[in-house]
Amino acid sequence: MILFIDDRPIRLAGPKAGSRHEDVAEHDHIFDARLEAIRPEILRGHVMILNVTPAVIEKLINLFNNTSLLDLLSVTLICVDKKAVEERLKSLFKVVKAAGGVVTKDGKTLLMFRRGKWDLPKGKLDEGEKSREAAAREVEEETGVVGKVGERLCTTWHTYRQNGNRYLKRTKWYAMTCVDDSRMAPQAEEDIERLEWVDRRTAQTLLANSFSSIRYVMDAASDYSVL
């Protein structure tokens, strides 16, 4: 599971991940939750925390919600029981389900410019709607492009606040191929200003002005040879 809080990736992994040398080597600081408390001053750079329990994840989320962690880049949580930690995490929020698509045509990918950032089309599921159906609908509503839904690329989670409530949005992302873009137009009601078909190199440049979660999705698309 990968979670994005304030645009920073928080990865939840099982015990084996903490024993691999390559996983350990890429972190600036490594801490054992059994041996020391999680404090703001230790959360700097790329951090790995070992022996994470449901109680530890709750403390960490509260820390994120109440502290400005400006020097933190990413956190990898090595969980004693990954499923139990994920369940506790989800219980701290109202979970919102969404879906989105990475749409391609002739080797190019559809990007949108919205609220000052480059983004991908996505949105919440309607009641009773399946994720694949929602991905196709949201792409068409936000861009006017009709797409054929292919394989699922990845799932992202990110948190946000609204009207005093804490939400955790789960977004399932799908590879999509363009069927018809003759009516392509940005949905003004969703503050979408521009739509662009871009090649891989251009996408990498534009996505420097995007969100970590969107770059993660595009990396997943590259891994699946979609791009």
Domain of residue 43, residue span: 2-91
Identify the band that residue 66 occupies on the pLDDT scale cut at 50, 70 and 90. Answer: confident
* Cα torsion 6, 7, 8, 10: sign: positive
- Are residue 125 and residue 202 in the same domain, yes or no? yes
- Are residue 103 and residue 206 in the same domain, yes or no? yes
Positions of E strands within the chain: 2-5, 8-13, 29-32, 45-52, 72-79, 94-105, 108-114, 117-119, 122-124, 146-162, 165-180, 192-198
CATH number at residue 137: 3.90.79.10
- Are residue 48 and residue 140 in the same domain, yes or no? no
> Which among 48, 65, 91 is the end of a domain?
91
Number of domains forming the structure of the chain: 2
Beta bridge partners of 97: 170
Q: Does residue 225 carry a pLDDT above 90?
A: no
Identify the band that residue 17 occupies on the pLDDT scale cut at 50, 70 and 90. Answer: confident
Q: Are 93 and 65 in contact (CB under 8 A)?
A: no
pLDDT tens, 105-138? 999 999 999 999 999 999 999 999 999 999 999 9
> Which among 31, 63, 91 is the end of a domain?
91
Residue whose entry in the numeric block shows the structure tokens 């600081």: 29
Identify the band that residue 21 occupies on the pLDDT scale cut at 50, 70 and 90. Answer: low
- Are residue 114 and residue 196 in the same domain, yes or no? yes
> What is the rounded CA–CA span in Å between residue 29 and residue 191?
40
> What is the rounded CA–CA span in Å between residue 17 and residue 227?
28
